[in-house]
Structure 1
Amino acid sequence: MTFSVVARCAETGQLGIAISSSSIAVGARCPWLRPGVGAVASQNITLPSLGPQVLDLLEQGLAPGEALASVFAGQEHGDYRQVTVIDHLGRTAHFSGAHTLGVHGALSGEQCVAAGNMLADPGVIDAMVRAFEQAAGHLADRLLAAMQAGQAQGGEAGPVHSAALLVVDDVLWPIVNLRVDWADEDPIGALERLWQAYHPQLQDYIDRALNPHIAPGYAVPGDDR
């Protein structure tokens, strides 16, 4: 039902997630990030609360593997969950329960961890990790490269319909938060087009929030700067 990559940029310290699913609105349930703390993807038979729970433990100083072990120690239905984690130091962990659906897997790489279930090919996850490690540019570009590589390897066994891309930096909100909640075909391509449109304005929106005096105008009615 889902494949994803969570990652950290070693140069900027940014954390991000890209994810796609056959289900509607995957970005509403599965990706969880906290600036300066970590990123968590909670998928398969999704329990959204796992994301904040793992992030809370990372913020308390636990390593990703310790945080996952602690959370699942008290989970009644842990066998149905698939969770990946990266922290602000680039340390990773992943968990796939015994009831993870279909062909599934998870793999940690350099500053990243990818996972998926209901996959068309067991090589999907390896392709995603290799693509992320070899890609250049903004963290969002590298995350999308991983998703495209996973899709090219077969992606999910059936068609995917939603996708999301999130990146956090050193402010309290995501600096990238883009979603395709439903597309009849190619939501990853639609997400990449959204990113290409948003990327040139990314810093402007941060400036508008932190210091409106230096933010550019957008030539809309009432904006006479």
Structure 2
Amino acid sequence: MNKNKSNIIATFSIAGYDPKTGELGVAVQSKFLGVGSVVPWAKAGVGAIATQAFANPSYGPNGLSLLEEGHTASEVIEKLTAEDEFSEDRQVGIVDAKGNTATFTGKQCYEWAGGITGEHYAAQGNILVNEETVTHMGRAFEQASGSLADRLLEGLKAAQKAGGDSRGKQSAAIYVVKDKGGYGGLSDVFVDLRVDDHPEPIQELIRIYQLQQLYFGETLEEHRLPVEGEVKADIIAQLHRLNYMESVDLPDSDLYDALTAYLHTENFEGREQERGWIDQKVLAFMKNQK
């Protein structure tokens, strides 16, 4: 088997764990088409793995199987690399469901290459502008607030700002799992978003992540608005403007029928409230919709 530089995934990534929610995940950026199809792997209640550089995709499923058998993150890296003749060309970061972390950078990875671990995260990168790309990524994760996905994305932003991939930017991805955290509680895939080819992949990834949160996030109590007064007038005006109501002078029954039709058309079922209430974020989206 011969190495081909075109197969080297020049990448920076961070694998993380949130002990409060049990969420596990990976965020990654690379000068590589569709990096999300190769680097990030995770399984709810088990762990998260980033496999990159002269990437061995089998490190993902095989590593998760080893974690599930009870091996620690460090033990998994030892086993994966011991059985791989090209291990010195590989890079991998792992966090397990107990918060243990480990990172490995083979001696043959292209400079700058390396990784760090901290509380509940492993950050690593190769063919980078500088070491600060990785250290700032880890520091941003440590200092960020919000969900695991929020913190992973903050890590990517900081890494890019600090230097990033020396070959440039092309793709980014985030993959987060949580027990029954997926659509309808029927899967464990909590966040699964990819930007396969874009001049500003991290920015685009954050944009679609914010859309994902809008469509599928839960309504906070403080964001529930009663449909009355100015709020009601705004809803009627927007439904009329968007052609869901023929007139602004229709009975409430028509208003709520139109609102239901709008919510279901725009995939806002997850933010649908009982009659007489609306999610503030939905109303804001309506007002900005063209």
TM-score of the superposed pair, with normalisation by structure 2: 0.70
Q: Secondary structure at the match of 1:133?
A: helix
Corresponding position of 2:102: 93
- One-letter amino acid matched to 1:2: T
SS of residue matched to 2:26: strand
Q: Which residue of 1 aligns with 2:140?
A: 131
Q: For 1:155 and 1:162, how far apart are their aligned partners in 2?
A: 13
Quick one: distance in 2 between partners of 1:15 and 1:180? Answer: 20
The counterpart of 2:16, out of the listed 7, 32, 39, is: 7
**Is it true that 1:219 corresponds to 2:264 in the alignment?**
yes
Residues 1-225 of structure 1 mapped to structure 2, 5 A cutoff: 1-171=10-180, 172-183=187-198, 185-203=199-217, 218-220=263-265
The one-letter amino acid of 1:6's match is: A
Report the CA distance between 1:71 and its aligned residue.
1.5
Instruction: Provide the alpha-carbon RMSD of the alignment.
Output: 1.9
SS of the aligned residue for 1:95 comes to: strand
CA distance in 2, matches of 1:69, 1:6: 18
Sequence identity percentage = 38
Shift of the alpha carbon at 1:35? 0.6
Alpha-carbon separation, structure 1, partners of 2:81 and 2:168: 30
**Which stretch of the first structure deviates more once superposed, 164-173 or 108-117?**
164-173
**Residues 5 and 115 in structure 1, CA contact (< 8 A), matched pair in contact too:** yes
Which amino acid counterpart does residue 191 of structure 2 have in structure 1?
V
Structure 1 residue matching 2:265: 3-state secondary structure:
coil
Give the partner amino acid of 2:82. Answer: A
Regions of 4+ moved over 2 Å: 200-204, 216-221
Superimposed CA distance per residue, residues 38-68 of structure 1 (whole angstroms, 9 cap, x where no aligned partner): 0000000111111111110000000111111
Question: 2:157·2:202 contact (CA, 8 Å) conserved in 1?
Answer: yes
Q: How many residues align?
A: 212
TM-score computed with the length of structure 1 as normaliser: 0.90
| Higher relative contact order (CA closer than 8 Å, sequence separation 6+) | 1
Question: Are the aligned partners of 1:175 and 1:202 in contact in 2 as well (CA < 8 Å)?
Answer: no
When residues 110 and 140 of structure 1 are mapped into structure 2, their CA distance, relative to the original with a 3 A threshold, is: same
The residue type paired with residue 123 of structure 1 is: E
Q: State which structure, 1 or 2, has the greater radius of gyration over its C-alpha atoms.
A: 2
Gaps of 5+ in 2: 1-9, 181-186, 219-259, 273-290
**Helix, strand or coil for the counterpart of 1:175?**
strand
Deviation readout 1:10-37 (Å, 9 max, x if unpaired): 2111011100100000000111001100
Q: Which runs of 5+ in 1 are unaligned?
A: 205-215
Relative to its length, the structure with more helix (as a share) is 2
Q: Distance in 1 between matches of 2:64 and 2:201?
A: 28
Report the Cα distance in structure 1 between the residues aligned to 2:118 and 2:153, rounded to whole angstroms: 16
Q: Alpha-carbon deviation of 1:220? A: 2.6
- In structure 1, distance between residues paired with 2:13 and 2:87: 19
- Confirm or deny: 8 A CA contact 1:176 1:202 kept in the other structure: no
Q: Which amino acid aligns with 2:93?
A: T
